[in-house]
Homo-oligomer: A and B are copies of this chain.
Amino acid sequence: MGFLLSQLGYQVSGRFKTLLAPLGLEPRQFLVLRHVARAQGSSQHALGQALLIPPSRMVSIVDALERRGLVERRANPTDRRARALHLTPEGRGMLARALRLAAEHERAICGDLSPAERDQLLGLLRRLPLAGELVDGVHPALTSEEAAAS
């Protein structure tokens, strides 16, 4: 069971990565983009806090997104240290396309499972003890030991 889960998880994430590649987007960039869309104007620090991504890593992620014109670092009126992150129209379009791919990915993963079976599978997976340690929307692969401990 453990080995199977590990194998499947690796395959799934690899698939998603190649699926996103045509957009020039990496999975981690996708996660950040999605979160910026949800919380426009939040700082990089807040973003890192929410996604448990260490600050030094966030820099290069946002750099890439900004270089491609998907995200803007605006000035924060109340704190001149912080940058307020905003989605550009291009960013919004990119996110929409990525979300469409993600839905496609989801269908591909589940294959010919009926909706009932799909729910059953989800239910069983969520009952695994490890599922309790997962934070919603946070991928542990991006998490630093330190951030995870907090």
- Residues on A close to B: CB < 8 A? 1-16, 102, 105-106, 108-113, 117-118, 120-122, 124-131, 133-134, 139-141
User: What number of copies of this chain does the assembly contain?
Assistant: 2
Interchain CA distance A129-B74 in the complex, whole Å:
44
Residue pair A120, B120 in contact (C-beta under 8 Å) = yes
25 interchain pairs, CB-CB under 8 A: A2-B109, A4-B125, A4-B126, A4-B131, A5-B5, A5-B12, A5-B109, A5-B125, A6-B9, A7-B9, A7-B134, A8-B131, A9-B9, A9-B10, A9-B12, A10-B139, A11-B133, A11-B140, A12-B130, A109-B129, A110-B128, A111-B128, A111-B129, A113-B127, A117-B124
Interchain CA distance A125-B121 in the complex, whole Å:
8
CB-based nearest B residue for A16? B2
Assuming A10-B141, A12-B130, A108-B129, what are 10 further A-B pairs, CB within 8 angstroms?
Answer: A2-B12, A2-B15, A2-B105, A2-B109, A5-B8, A8-B128, A109-B130, A113-B124, A117-B127, A121-B124
